[in-house]
Structure 1
Amino acid sequence: MKFRSSEILSDPVFTENRALYKSMGFSDEDLKGPLIGIANAWNELVPGHYNLRQLSEFVKKGIYRAGGMAVEFGVIAACDGQSCGHNGMKYILPTRDLIACDIEAMVEAHRLDGIVMLGSCDKIVPGMLMAAARLGIPAILLVGGPMAGGVTFDGRKSDSTSVSEAVGMLSAGRISKETLSMLEDNAAPSCGSCSYYGTANSMGCAAEAMGMSLPASSLIPATSSARSRAAEETGKRIVELVREGVTAHDIITKDSLENTAKIMVATGGSTNCFIHLSAIGNEIGVSPEAMIEIYERSSEKIPSIAMVNPASEYDMEDFYRAGGIPQVMKELGEDMDLSCMTVTGKNLGENLENWSSPFGVDRRVIRSKEDPFCKSGGLAVMRGNLAPGTGITKPIAMDPSMYYFSGPARIFECEEDANQAILDGKIKEGDVLVIRYEGPKGGPGMREMYFAMKLLYGKGLSKKTAIITDGRFSGTNNGCFVGHISPEAAEGGPIAAIRDGDTITIDVENKRLDVDLSQEEIEARLKDWKRPPRKELKGILGIYAKLAASAAEGAMMKI
């Protein structure tokens, strides 16, 4: 069989290329291929990636056993958790596109035959999937797995975000400094992606639902020996995919993206998944409008059948032991397109045919679609005179009493001002915080209003206030919020017209987000609107601000 790599490794004209490989110890037998890249986002900054160096050795073992040649290279990876609440978060979303470009360049420059992508966290997984969709070669994604749950706090196993909630509690006099210190030491007891159903684990589950990861692999705990076995099997399968001629273009399709959206809606995944799926869809020519139709259709049709932190006290290990993504797929049954191809070389239906959870099914975590936690989906697209493009919310992580919330606007032109107002006790029950100029272009970088939501929770205001923003939210946020508002303020969207005291209404059941102004009043205010000045942007932020698409389109860099 002739491989892509044979174009250079079998042609005498490119003998120098062979010599360069031999300078690193590769043999003639190695150079027969197939040449399998391992795009490894390991580093010592991101807890979710800390075990990837070890996992890559098991991937190599599988590649070698299947007759392939493994070549590993590094990929950048930044930690959302370490970047929340400060300017560092502006860089996080742009890294998604950098990762896609990074992998594309390495694969094409070296004519790799297939690629295993090792990454676990928020922007790394979607960036890798964008690369796979762009390249269209055989590809598999392997995540590092969730970390263990922490010490019990506030009625459940804690996680890293419990510490942020505790900061708000300390500010409100609800806990002591000693309790906060104890939590700091015990909330995140191992490496791995954070133990709640945030963007990292949501996107890992999305990769599995899409067919780009091995079945039942996304939720294996980071410290489990099963994780190493999954890594070895991943290495073996990528060589087989190359020989079988099954590529990412056979797997990442409009239908598989719709399957993925359904799983995210059914499980209450992160709101960020919508912009990431749109960006992946863009790589294969699925329009933003078509993706929004998929989200709206899924939200209307698919019930909420899984409840995981932040929607409940159950964490990712509980979700794994309850049956994980395969069990959710089985419960949805014919609502899924079971004909979609996967990295096993079989379709979804064939993968599920004889599958059963080794731990049984925990109905506290995963229910049947006939007995759902909620008849509507866990994620929803909002419309209205404040969101003529889109807004996104997460009903499954919201107390039902907040499904209809109306109150006076409190305007903040950046995240930091909102956070300080909360800490200073300036937010009252009934307020709707409007945090704007945090969109893709306006931020730039579309920061997450994670910290503001956590501070409101710690202050005891999470069921008494709401936040709307053209920025994003973390997958761990719960409470009444609408993010991804499009058009954004920096583009002259209606959110730029709101003033302190205007009445904002969030109506989740009717999927509406409105301000108590007529269209004529909004347009009159916007006639006098000018984009606030900001300092000159350089580097990646300058590039991103110029090229970023809207949140409704996926917030990717458009050329």
Structure 2
Amino acid sequence: MSQEYWNGAQAAHRRVMMKAAGYSDGDIRKKPHIGVPNSYMAGSPGTAHLRQITEAVKEGIWAAGGVPVEFGIPATCGNIANGAEELKYEQVGRDIVAMSIEFVTRVHNFDGLVMTASCDNIIAGCYLAAMRLDIPTMVVTGGSMQPGQYCGKTVVEADLDAARFSGASEEELMEMEDNVCPSFGACPSMGTANTMQMLGEVLNLVLPGTSTIPASDNAKLRKAREAGKYAVELVKSGRRPSQLITREVLMNAIMFDMAVAGSTNAVLHILSFSYELGIRLTLEDFEKYAKEIPCINAVVPSGPYTVVDFHYAGGVMNVMKMLESKLFTEVPGMYGISWKEMLAKVTPRENEVIHSLERPLFQEPGLKILRGNLSPNGAIVRPTAVYDEVKYMRGKAKVFDGDRAAFEAIQAGEIVPGDIIVIRYEGCKGAPGMKELMLSIDALIGLGLHKSVGLISDARFSGFNFGAIIGHVSPEAYDGGNIALVENGDEIVIDIPGGEVSLLVSEEELQERRKRWVCPPLKEEKGCLNLFARLCRPAEEGGAMQPWDLDAKFHG
């Protein structure tokens, strides 16, 4: 507890600041101080409702005898920057969020934290901060939005892009805009936001059964208040993230992500979490479970349902029950009991949204690692979002040094069925920031080329995206990976069932090209993007802005 920090003559200047802010002497001196980082941001439906949720959290903390101290943390929506160069800030934002929480928490010496967050890299940054600070911590998610209704059909935000590229009129787009996102919450597909919200339960950071409560369901407020109350108990018990998130818990997170076909960005985040905790985890761990865990979740883009349907079909706890025979169940859970004990209280509910392991939606995993001379350190694909026609491709490369150049070629009709697009210098250092390739991929989908064209990149993708898209290629082009040596017309093989992505060029020819290759200058000369490029780990180590010594002895 931080009472020494707030008592005694040496703390008079601290107390007077808290008193001037409206806190009473008894609260300051005697009660646990709980930081409440709030990622409220008025410009996005994923965050614009978090003030009310945060108020409920604070009510719960007060009711349980704690002192809530709310503070703001950065928040953005990836769709705001969709199609713009600024999208490369999103991955960097994860680390900025973690640092902002670290900064305020260390100065105020909080006894615990309850964070409110919903979207993409923001919620991942909250988890990263929890593991770095290692004080009793909970996260309350903002939940998902309701799907829209347009022309008698259920639609989600990604459908807007398809309409945009398929020639919809301005009037049709305007009408669709007015209907596609009808409530607060994260976009209701298996994008990064909902993937990370769900993983919070598996990681023992979010109250079981609560991560996917829709933002429009008032149970969200009731559970937020309950989380605030439980946070005080968590502080008094002293249970910290390092005690609740073991190597086996991280393995459970990998298995869960495979089962639900979560966003490929989850791989970056889980790897970063492991290194933050001092636990060695590699892409080999993902490869291992890709051979064991098929996709059992029929949420968009792997199936026709939304995350709202997923919640009412049993949610995270139902998936975990379906996976019980594969999971490490003796690991700790949030409530001070094991996952085995928690799952004993769950009745499995096999349905159209959440399938069983015996009758999976696909025989394939939700994520897969590909290797070959184009990506000896690993690349990532979501097999369940790839059409059968393009799960194996052998085609000619069309090479672009950036997302926009590829997009313009697609728009100009320069990309034809059978082509394999290579987009490089968009990785962690090359972008910098590991950009999401929304421009080119949205164009492929909108023009119907996603069933006949492949795409390979050192960048990453939105969880909304689908098609034969392979990302996180490492080493990235900026580091001199073979992706930097590809030339127009080179033959490339994409073999998703076989786990391979290879350039059909001899090693001798690649060596000759390497002699001619010149590393380009960094695109950003100052600011956080420059810092990220200089300090970040490669994609297969999570892409975090941290100087981790991976040769040091890791535990777990």
TM-score, normalised on structure 1? 0.95
Residue pair 1:488, 1:495 contacting (<8 A) in 2 also? yes
Q: Report the counterpart of residue 502 of structure 2 in structure 1.
A: 514
Q: Which amino acid aligns with 1:211?
A: N
Which residues in structure 2 correspond to 1:22-61 (within 5 Å)? 22-31=19-28, 32-61=30-59
Do structure 1's residue 131 and structure 2's residue 129 form an aligned pair?
Answer: yes
Describe the SS at the equivalent of 1:191: coil
Deviation, structure 1 residue 376: 2.6
Deviation, structure 1 residue 484: 0.3
Residue pair 2:427, 2:476 contacting (<8 A) in 1 also? yes
Which residues in structure 2 correspond to 1:113-192 (within 5 Å)? 113-152=111-150, 157-170=154-167, 175-192=168-185
Which residues in structure 2 correspond to 1:70-469 (within 5 Å)? 70-152=68-150, 157-170=154-167, 175-287=168-280, 290-356=281-347, 361=349, 363-469=351-457
Deviation, structure 1 residue 535: 5.0
Residue pair 1:149, 1:187 contacting (<8 A) in 2 also? yes
Q: CA RMSD in A?
A: 1.4
> 1-side partners of 2:226 and 2:330: how far apart?
23
Residue pair 1:237, 1:343 contacting (<8 A) in 2 also? no
Residue pair 1:321, 1:362 contacting (<8 A) in 2 also? no
> 2-side partners of 1:231 and 1:493: how far apart?
46
Q: Flag the 1:520–1:286 CA change in 2: closer, same or farther, 3 A.
A: farther
Count of equivalent residues: 546
> 2-side partners of 1:527 and 1:128: how far apart?
43
Deviation, structure 1 residue 291: 2.8
> 1-side partners of 2:522 and 2:540: how far apart?
24
Which residues in structure 2 correspond to 1:481-492 (within 5 Å)? 481-492=469-480
> 2-side partners of 1:516 and 1:17: how far apart?
66
> 1-side partners of 2:510 and 2:163: how far apart?
39
Q: Which amino acid aligns with 1:326?
A: M
Query: Once the two structures are superposed, what CA deviation does each residue of 1:251-279 show, in whole Å capped at 9, x if it has no partner?
Result: 12211111111100001000000001111
Q: Flag the 1:232–1:356 CA change in 2: closer, same or farther, 3 A.
A: farther
Q: Report the counterpart of residue 554 of structure 2 in structure 1.
A: none
> 1-side partners of 2:98 and 2:169: how far apart?
44
Q: Which amino acid aligns with 1:430?
A: G
Residue pair 1:40, 1:56 contacting (<8 A) in 2 also? yes
> 2-side partners of 1:344 and 1:83: how far apart?
39
> 2-side partners of 1:244 and 1:117: how far apart?
19
> 1-side partners of 2:307 and 2:346: how far apart?
20
> 1-side partners of 2:223 and 2:336: how far apart?
16
Describe the SS at the equivalent of 2:229: helix
Deviation, structure 1 residue 356: 4.2
Deviation, structure 1 residue 344: 2.3
> 1-side partners of 2:392 and 2:193: how far apart?
29
> 2-side partners of 1:356 and 1:451: how far apart?
43
Deviation, structure 1 residue 10: 2.0
Residue pair 1:211, 1:348 contacting (<8 A) in 2 also? no
Deviation, structure 1 residue 152: 4.1
Q: Report the counterpart of residue 65 of structure 1 in structure 2.
A: 63
Describe the SS at the equivalent of 1:72: strand
Q: Which amino acid aligns with 1:102?
A: S
Deviation, structure 1 residue 230: 1.1
Q: Report the counterpart of residue 7 of structure 2 in structure 1.
A: 10
Query: Once the two structures are superposed, what CA deviation does each residue of 1:290-327 show, in whole Å capped at 9, x if it has no partner?
Result: 33122111111111111210112111111111111111
Residue pair 1:60, 1:235 contacting (<8 A) in 2 also? yes
Describe the SS at the equivalent of 2:74: coil
Residue pair 1:164, 1:451 contacting (<8 A) in 2 also? no
Q: Report the counterpart of residue 19 of structure 1 in structure 2.
A: 16
> 2-side partners of 1:405 and 1:505: how far apart?
6
Describe the SS at the equivalent of 2:471: strand
Describe the SS at the equivalent of 1:455: helix
Describe the SS at the equivalent of 1:337: coil
> 1-side partners of 2:5 and 2:242: how far apart?
24
Give the stretch that moved more between structures: 377-386 or 529-538.
Answer: 529-538
> 2-side partners of 1:28 and 1:351: how far apart?
40
Give the stretch that moved more between structures: 294-303 or 345-354.
Answer: 345-354
Describe the SS at the equivalent of 2:46: helix
> 1-side partners of 2:390 and 2:261: how far apart?
17
Deviation, structure 1 residue 532: 2.8
Q: Which amino acid aligns with 1:369?
A: L
- The percentage of counterpart residues that share the same residue type is 39
Deviation, structure 1 residue 558: 2.4
Structure 2: unaligned runs, 5 residues or longer: 548-556
Deviation, structure 1 residue 395: 0.4
Q: Which amino acid aligns with 2:226?
A: E
Q: Which amino acid aligns with 1:28?
A: D
> 2-side partners of 1:351 and 1:167: how far apart?
46
Residue pair 2:430, 2:522 contacting (<8 A) in 1 also? no
> 1-side partners of 2:388 and 2:333: how far apart?
37
> 2-side partners of 1:212 and 1:70: how far apart?
18
Residue pair 2:150, 2:176 contacting (<8 A) in 1 also? no
Residue pair 1:385, 1:519 contacting (<8 A) in 2 also? no
> 2-side partners of 1:16 and 1:436: how far apart?
53
Query: Once the two structures are superposed, what CA deviation does each residue of 1:79-112 show, in whole Å capped at 9, x if it has no partner?
Result: 1111121111121111111111111111111110
Describe the SS at the equivalent of 2:98: helix
> 1-side partners of 2:228 and 2:526: how far apart?
40
Deviation, structure 1 residue 514: 0.5
Deviation, structure 1 residue 401: 2.7
